[in-house]
Structures are given as structure tokens and as C-alpha cells.
Amino acid sequence: MAQPGLKPFNYNCGIINTDCTQNFETNMGNKIKKNQGGFTIVEVLIALFVTGLMLLLYSASANSVTLNRNSKHEDLAHRIAVSEMEDIRSLAFANIPATGPFTDPLFSQLPSAQGQLTITPVNPDVKIVNVTVTWTEPGNPAIHSVNLETLISSHGL
């Protein structure tokens, strides 16, 4: 028995019969909307999450490149300073050079590099040797430096 206000459901609809769909929609009490466009809130949230994650990874990789370059330059400056210090330690005490700048072939790989050698006599038999390598990173006006200091005695190490 059909309830008042509803059309009777037609169980004998065929594939081609469109009246069957209309009766079904009416009997269910809702109109089914077909071919709805747009995105659900879950799809939008997932897209925002993926976009945020990609931006975070990009930012981290950009910082990683900068840190890697700075570390490479600091390591190179340290190698230059150690090399200069070893050269000075290999000299006889009387042949230790005076205070002043020094050069190294590796300066060409370090941006705006300079080397400074400072010799300070403590007494007639001991000198303080200070080797400083300075450079500036591209895009950063701050001066970076590596400083090594040692004592050299006329009696050897």
C-alpha cells in the first residue's frame, strides 16, 4: 500500500525507462544530485598538508646548502692555517718570519681570503705564533676567521 503523498514504486522499470529513477528519487524523499563539482574539505586539507610539507622540505634544503658551503669554507681555512703553522714550526727558531700577511695557493678557493701571521716574543727563547685566516661568505658581510696559536721555543717543542 502506498503512503499518502508518495508515488508508488515501480518494480518493473527497464534499463531505458527513466520514470523508474524519478519514482525512486521521489520515494526516498531526497533528490539525488548528479555530477556535483568541487572538492571536499578532506581533499583540501590533504592538499594544504602536502603543499606545506613541500615548502618545509624546500626551506630545509636551502638552509642545508648554505650550511654545507659555510662548513666547507671553514674547513678549507682551517687546513690553510694548519699548513702555515706546520711550515713555521719546521723552521729554525732564528728563521721564524716577522709579523705580516702570508699567502697560500688555496686562498683562490676561499672567497675574499686573507692570511695574517703574528709573532710575539715572550722572552729570548720563546715566541707566540698566531696564524689567522679570514674570509667573507657571498651575500653575508660578516667576516669569518680561523685562528691558531702556538708557542715555539728555541729548544724545540
In a domain, 6, yes or no: no
pLDDT of 5 > 80? The answer is: no
Number of folded domains that form the chain:
1
Could you tell me if residue 14 is inside a domain? no
Neighbours of 59 (CB within 10 A): 10
d(CA 66, CA 89): 35
Residue 83 located in a structural domain: yes
Residue 52 domain flag: yes
Residue 77 CA to residue 73 CA, distance in Å, equals 6
Residue 68 lies in a domain: yes
Give the tens place of pLDDT for each residue, 23-56. 544 555 555 556 667 889 999 999 999 999 999 9
Tell whether 4 is covered by a domain.
no
- The neighbour count for residue 18, using CB atoms within 10 Å, is 10
For residue 84, tell me if it sits in a domain.
Answer: yes
Cell (9 digits) for 132:
689567522
pTM, two decimal places: 0.62
The domain containing residue 82 runs over which residues? 41-153
φ and ψ of 39, to 5 deg:
-120, 155
Q: Encode pLDDT of 62-113 as tens digits.
A: 788 888 888 999 999 999 999 999 999 999 999 999 899 999 999 999 999 9
Residue 45's pLDDT is 94
Tell me if 128 is assigned to some domain: yes
